[in-house]
Amino acid sequence: MTTPPVVLITGTSSGFGRACAEHLAKRGWRVFGTSRRAPEAPAPAAGGYELLRMDVDDDACVQRGVAAVLERAGRIDAVVNNAGIGYAGSVEDTSIEEAKAHLETNFFGAVRVCRAVLPAMRAQGGGTIINISSVAGAIGIPYQAFYSASKFALEGFSEALRLEVRPFGIRVALVEPGDARTGFTANRRRTAASLENPAYREACERALAVMEADERHGFAPERLARTVERILTARAPRLRYVVAPAPEAAALALRKLVPAWLFEWVLEKYYRLT
């Protein structure tokens, strides 16, 4: 290619998304980052990439955003579906509306973007889609049930999508990050009922204290950005890439090796549930 490859990254206002946008821009990619509060038309951002408005919960907004990138760049070589939200609270203390919000952004948001870019990728003969999942997409995390559910859904979706689009030269990969130092910790919201129901309150607060301490001491988001670049430049990317501190990576391997009751006991002790 005589022009820089073009990548669209959702959720670049902070964290993984911003790290990926800035890193790939430095590495010669033409990067379009998205945010719900960005200008409607693409505009230069401080990190060397172009920023445009895209609310992944909104079909029309996603279509407009993709159309704007195609109008300015003429193609989309890669997509990184990173936009996401998180609520904390027990299943009993999570309303259906709060549960749906997880799925709307974390799962259906990625689905919308994939569906919007696939026609262009098929027409140009290829592309790469990277869906940012989570270790919580492989292990159900207590008091994060619907966040886990949204990432579990993204994992199954990506497996199927990878098989469907391979004949068109389109590659699909998942990245499963563990605890990282990002704004996600501060932006995590409590479900409304979890602030009132005493039945789960103490266990929820203990578990969240463990999670938030792990996140504050987690890896820098630039590590994930380097993995994304490695996937984009690979001849044949794998389906899954784990980017996590050693204990979390070990937990993923351990789950396949030990009885379910023993793995559950380890999680109960780790998150101080009992």
Whether the Cβ atoms of residue 175 and residue 231 lie closer than 8 Å to each other? yes
Query: Nearest to residue 35, comparing CAs of 134, 86, 137, 109?
Result: 109
C-beta neighbour count of 135 within 10 angstroms: 21
Whether the Cβ atoms of residue 23 and residue 60 lie closer than 8 Å to each other? no
| Active-site residue identified among 151, 158, 200, 271 | 151
194 belongs to the catalytic site: no
269 belongs to the catalytic site: no
Query: Nearest to residue 251, comparing CAs of 265, 238, 231?
Result: 265
DSSP 128: E
Beta-bridged to residue 174, according to DSSP, are 131, 240
26 belongs to the catalytic site: no
C-beta neighbour count of 129 within 10 angstroms: 25
| Active-site residue identified among 13, 90, 150, 158 | 13
What the block records as the tokens of 11 is: 């959720």
87 belongs to the catalytic site: no
Whether the Cβ atoms of residue 250 and residue 178 lie closer than 8 Å to each other? no
| Active-site residue identified among 35, 90, 133, 134 | 133
**CA pair distance 172, 149, nearest whole angstrom:** 20
| Active-site residue identified among 87, 143, 147, 200 | 147
Single-letter amino acid code for the residue at 212: E
C-beta neighbour count of 217 within 10 angstroms: 11
Query: At which residue do the structure tokens 């990138």 appear?
Result: 69
Active site residues: 13, 133, 147, 151
